[in-house]
Structure 1
Amino acid sequence: MTQTHTHTQDYEREDGRALRLTYAEPDGAVRGGLVVLHEVGGVTDAARLLVASLAAEGWLAAAPHIDGDGPDGVLGASLLAATDTTLAWLVDRGVRGDQVGVVGFDLGGTAALVVAANRELGAAVSVGGRGISSPATTGLPALVDIAGSLVSPWLGLYGDNGDEAGQAELNTLKEEAGKSKVATNVVCYAGASHRFDTDPEAAAEAWQRTLSWFDAHLR
């Protein structure tokens, strides 16, 4: 995998929509486009690394800088608007509508499921994320309440926090997602927290699952 650098752009459309984006482009052919939703704290070094790593795999990846509505980095109503503008940016760059997806980590993972329940995209992946049984922050729903309404193929990668309550919560999420009319899957990393990226083996496995999900659905 070659080193890929990120860039930041203040993107403005003719209709007045404006958004700051951090993005990375593949060195070769573009396989499709991915919206990368950041965790609490904005577009951090970790988010930039994710953007660059996806670009190195052939995806045009862009992370919108989403303003929070509160001290916890609440996404609120700005989430879908920012996603729509980023999708428009990807289309401007030549990505077809059936070759776009969304991926998020931690609170961004929560946001990715919200997007997947409200926008018809090629695929979506949530890498961890809070707010499964009760809202993670003001302005976002509990994920079990919307999982049955998914309209984009969705993969959820979660740790169960090493307890039965966590396992039961993920089982409920998987059951609800299975009621939707699109392909879904929930993978549980036993004994891991939602920050299971601290476990190199689990992180590597989750990364491969993420790439495989996009390979399968964005084609």
Structure 2
Amino acid sequence: MTRIETLSLTDGRQLRMTVAEPENAVRGGLVVLHEARGITTGVRSLVKSLAAEGWLAVAPHLYGEADRVHGADVHDQVSRLSGDAVLEDTDVAFVWLGQQGVSADRMGVVGFDLGGSVAMVVAASRTIGAAVTVQGPGILEPLSDGLPALVDVAGELTCPWLGIYGDDESEAVEKLRDAVIAGETASDVVRFDKTSDEAWQRALNWFDAHLR
């Protein structure tokens, strides 16, 4: 089961977070960054699935009061995203995990679509244990004025990062792979069928290996 936590921030805002806890011992904590449409059924399912694997999972609602958006509103919401605001919200989620007893080296971040792009930005600017990006766009061109192109932050990764993309992705993915390999972290880009169970297992294995 998931629940909603609402936290009051120092700037007067309130941040809502979808949370799921493991039934047994907590292996670590994962911040789940939602897709461009917001907190969808798929995002909630991912949060629950990670909790079932033993992770304390928390998904900050990056769009504020708009939990979910549709149609043309999706592009408008993404284009208005501020890198600073997104990092502030993920920071709050990491602080919350710390308050639950999760140490920084057992914290990770994972995201799909928009969230995958933001996960890489987080991995390049925060000290955490590991990160996974699934289908993160904005590789060569930023998704918004407030977010960098992923290839531009690939050399700044501060933790092990795994990028998972589909087999039909463009040459941009190969450019991202080259930029990541040239960095100093134990990071990689892999390609799978978009619905592959193997891709899901690879992501879980990445956290198993690096969050200890």
Question: Do the two structures share a fold, i.e. TM-score over 0.5?
Answer: yes
C-alpha distance 161-138 of structure 1, shift in aligned 2 (>3 A): farther
Matched AA of 1:10: T
In structure 2, list runs of 5 or more residues that go unmatched: 65-73
Task: Write out aligned runs for 1:1-219 (5 A).
Answer: 5-12=1-8, 18-67=14-63, 71-74=76-79, 75-76=81-82, 77-161=84-168, 166=170, 168-189=171-192, 196-197=194-195, 202=196, 204-219=197-212
Superposition deviation, residue 182 in structure 1: 1.2
- Post-superposition Cα deviations, 1:170-217, rounded to whole Å, max 9, x if no partner, equal 12111111122211010023xx6xxx23xxxx2x11110010000000
CA–CA distance in structure 1, aligned partners of residues 5 and 158 of structure 2: 30
CA–CA distance in structure 1, aligned partners of residues 78 and 38 of structure 2: 8
- The TM-score, its normalising length taken from structure 1, stands at 0.86
CA–CA distance in structure 1, aligned partners of residues 43 and 208 of structure 2: 21
- Note if contact 1:127-1:156 (Cα within 8 Å) is conserved in structure 2: yes
CA–CA distance in structure 1, aligned partners of residues 61 and 9 of structure 2: 16
User: For 1:30, what is the secondary structure of its paired residue?
Assistant: coil
- Post-superposition Cα deviations, 1:22-66, rounded to whole Å, max 9, x if no partner, equal 010000000000000001121111110000000000000000001
- The TM-score, its normalising length taken from structure 2, stands at 0.89
- Post-superposition Cα deviations, 1:105-140, rounded to whole Å, max 9, x if no partner, equal 011001100100111110000011111111123311
- Post-superposition Cα deviations, 1:76-126, rounded to whole Å, max 9, x if no partner, equal 221100010000000111111110000000110011001001111100000
- Note if contact 2:159-2:185 (Cα within 8 Å) is conserved in structure 1: yes
User: For 1:71, what is the secondary structure of its paired residue?
Assistant: helix
CA–CA distance in structure 1, aligned partners of residues 10 and 144 of structure 2: 32
User: RMSD across aligned C-alpha pairs, in angstroms?
Assistant: 1.9
CA–CA distance in structure 1, aligned partners of residues 18 and 124 of structure 2: 24
